[in-house]
Amino acid sequence: MFDIEKIRADFPILEREIYGRRLVYLDNAATTQKPSCVISKIRDVYEQYNSNIHRSVSRLASICTDEYENARKTVSGFINAKSTNEIVFTSGTTAAINLLAFTFGEKFVNGGDEIVVCESEHHSNIVPWQLMCERKNAVLKVLPFDDSGDLKTELLDGLLTERTRLLCVAQATNVLGTVNPLDIIVKKAHEKGVYVLVDGAQGIQHVKTDVTASDFDFYVFSGHKIYAPTGIGILYGKEHLLEQLPPWQGGGDMVNRVSFAKTTYSGLPLKFEAGTSNYVGATGLGEALNYLISTGLDQIHSYEKELTNYALARISSIPQLTVYGTSANKVGIASFLVEGIHHADMGEILDKMGIAVRTGRMCAEPAIHHFGLTGLVRASWTFYNTKQEIDSLCEGIEKAKKLFF
Ligand code: PMP
């Protein structure tokens, strides 16, 4: 079944010490650690077959191209896309949303049209839409959340109008950890003819994702948050929608024929992959997803659920500590403050005990402002963390309190 010691042994960094203590890594929402198989895969590419993809006829280039396209198949299967044409490699979630904001804006948005984003979104699912709205003279509208961190979906009926073109929502939020009710949201949006973009940066690694069954129009995520290398990410889009979008960046690989009179473009998905892609990162992403599949997604998710129940109960029972985000449906995130201790001080003290957490605004200022705060401490865990590590965090918080009071 789920052998946590075996899992931990797959992640070499978990062995290391920080200030003489075993690392307790609880900053997984910022980025995840990498299993040995992903690290070896990257090494293999550079040692065995590194060559630019989709270009040369060499044996090396054909191996590298196959690895890249196999990774695309793996991603497509992992999220159950209908075709690999629907899977575009980008450098991450941010790049994927910017690509979409530009191209969707060009194709579907006119002056006076509306885009809806949620109050709890990460900046990368707010700012690209603000930029696009400025460019197209469109209107940005906001779906608020309540004090437990749940979106007020009952407001959607009034918020979505015949001018709304797109609704942008996270699968799970990075500050509050809420898993948003996408079934309700997608249904309400589609009833009004509104397309939906789901930001999966905090969801894909914790929640089984089926873009076809869930009827998402667009879905994005980052490799580095799902045990893969940095610098690689995915834009999924329904094929008939991606086909209608214009190219974004111009350059090699995204063209069919080039002349000064007229240039024609590649078909999907290469139309959106200008220049040398991060084929090493893509190969690493394929390896990471295969690692998760072979470990067992159901086992991973049920272990995480158990750990989350334990952690949230344990952390919220600490006196003078408030957890922000108390939705009944959360991923492994606890953002909190201890009365009288600044979030940055708490982060530094925990770090000296070898405990890595995130502090500050966490790239989601509107969510932090909702509570009238300037920042929070965020602990975020995943399937290689243990109850003992949650205990260490709680002991660390208690020690910090003693230092201050
Ligand atoms: N959306 C959410 C919900 C996130 O948590 C993050 C990363 N913190 C992003 C988008 C941006 O991801 P990246 O920095 O990998 O592009």
**Cβ-based burial of 43 (10 A; exposed 0-12, middle 13-18, buried ≥19):** exposed
pLDDT tens-digit series, residues 205-219:
999 999 999 999 999
Ligand 1 mutation pick, 98, 119, 174, max ligand atoms within 8 A of CB: 174
Dihedral of alpha carbons 295, 297, 302, 305, sign? positive
Domains of the chain: 4-28+296-404 (3.90.1150.10), 39-293 (3.40.640.10)
pLDDT tens-digit series, residues 138-189:
999 999 999 999 999 999 999 999 999 999 999 999 999 999 999 999 999 9
Residue minimizing CA distance to atom 14 of ligand 1: 94
Residue 150 near residue 178, CB atoms below 8 Å: yes
- Nearest ligand 1 atom to the CA of 174 is 5
Q: Which residue has the tokens 């992640």?
A: 11
Q: At 187, which amino acid appears?
A: K
Tell whether ligand 1 has an atom less than 6 A from the beta carbon of residue 199. Answer: yes
What is the whole-number distance in angstroms between the Cα of residue 291 and the centre of ligand 1? 22
Tell whether ligand 1 has an atom less than 6 A from the beta carbon of residue 202. Answer: yes
pLDDT at residue 365 in the model = 95
d(CA 291, CA 279): 18
Tell whether ligand 1 has an atom less than 6 A from the beta carbon of residue 288. Answer: no
Residue minimizing CA distance to atom 12 of ligand 1: 93
pLDDT at residue 1 in the model = 76
Q: Could you tell me which residues are beta bridge partners of residue 358? A: 378
- Nearest ligand 1 atom to the CA of 124 is 10
Residue 78 near residue 289, CB atoms below 8 Å: yes
pLDDT tens-digit series, residues 301-313:
999 999 999 999 9
Provide mean pLDDT across the span 321-344.
97
pLDDT at residue 347 in the model = 98
| pLDDT class of 224 with cuts at 50, 70, 90 | very high
Instruction: Check pLDDT > 80 for residue 234.
Output: yes
Catalytic residues: 363
Tell whether ligand 1 has an atom less than 6 A from the beta carbon of residue 364. Answer: no
